[in-house]
């Protein structure tokens, strides 16, 4: 199986980076392969241009897409599974990842007369400062899942999984308690994908 990882975090000094590394180790140890787009390292342009907006808003496949978008779409169509690894910022993925969806999930690829293949699996691994009980209590976890699974991934994957590694704020003692446990989960998710 080939996994396309879309990784989005502005710092290498983060728990999210450790999740990414454990997940990748699981993929490699299982004999599978991966390709990664590190959106910050790539300096992926996330603002939709007027040309891109007009193309999508008019349900057109012309003019052609930018080369960076085509490269991401090729990674998707060359993969069997997709993984999104990111921190939760204000109950949402970072703006850079949201912008990635805005540009890559283009008309004629992810909707309309789609050329995007239906992937076998998708997994979301996100880290949150607040614990998952708090996110559930306020209804935020359900909202996060609805956006990622119900809108962005919807019928584009056969099977999906959403994992939140909560309570990972640097100010919380819970962070140290959960660190190794969470990394084992990330490894196992990569291994069994």
Domains of the chain: 2-192 (3.40.50.360)
* pLDDT tens per residue across span 112-168: 999 999 999 999 999 998 888 888 888 888 899 999 999 999 999 999 999 999 988
Q: Which of 173, 168, 151, 170 is nearest to 160 (CA)?
A: 151
DSSP string, 15-31: HHHHHHHHHHHHHHHTT
Question: Model-level pTM?
Answer: 0.95
């Amino acid at each position: 199986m080939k996994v396309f990882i879309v990784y989005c975090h502005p710092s290498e000094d983060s728990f999210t980076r450790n999740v990414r590394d454990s997940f990748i180790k699981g993929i490699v140890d299982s004999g599978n392969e991966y390709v990664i787009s590190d959106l910050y390292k790539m300096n992926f342009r996330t603002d939709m241009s007027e040309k891109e907006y007009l193309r999508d808003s008019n349900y057109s496949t012309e003019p052609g897409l930018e080369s960076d978008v085509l490269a991401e779409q090729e990674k998707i169509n060359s993969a069997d599974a997709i993984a999104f690894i990111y921190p939760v910022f204000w109950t949402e993925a970072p703006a850079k990842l949201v912008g990635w969806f805005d540009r890559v999930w283009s008309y004629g690829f992810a909707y309309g007369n789609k050329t995007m293949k239906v992937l076998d699996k998708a997994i979301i691994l996100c880290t949150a400062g607040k614990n998952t009980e708090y996110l559930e209590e306020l209804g935020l976890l359900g909202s996060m899942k609805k956006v990622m699974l119900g809108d962005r991934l919807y019928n584009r994957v056969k099977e999906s999984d959403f994992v939140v590694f909560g309570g990972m704020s640097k100010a919380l003692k819970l962070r140290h308690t959960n660190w190794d446990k969470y990394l084992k989960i990330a490894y196992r998710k990569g291994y069994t994908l």
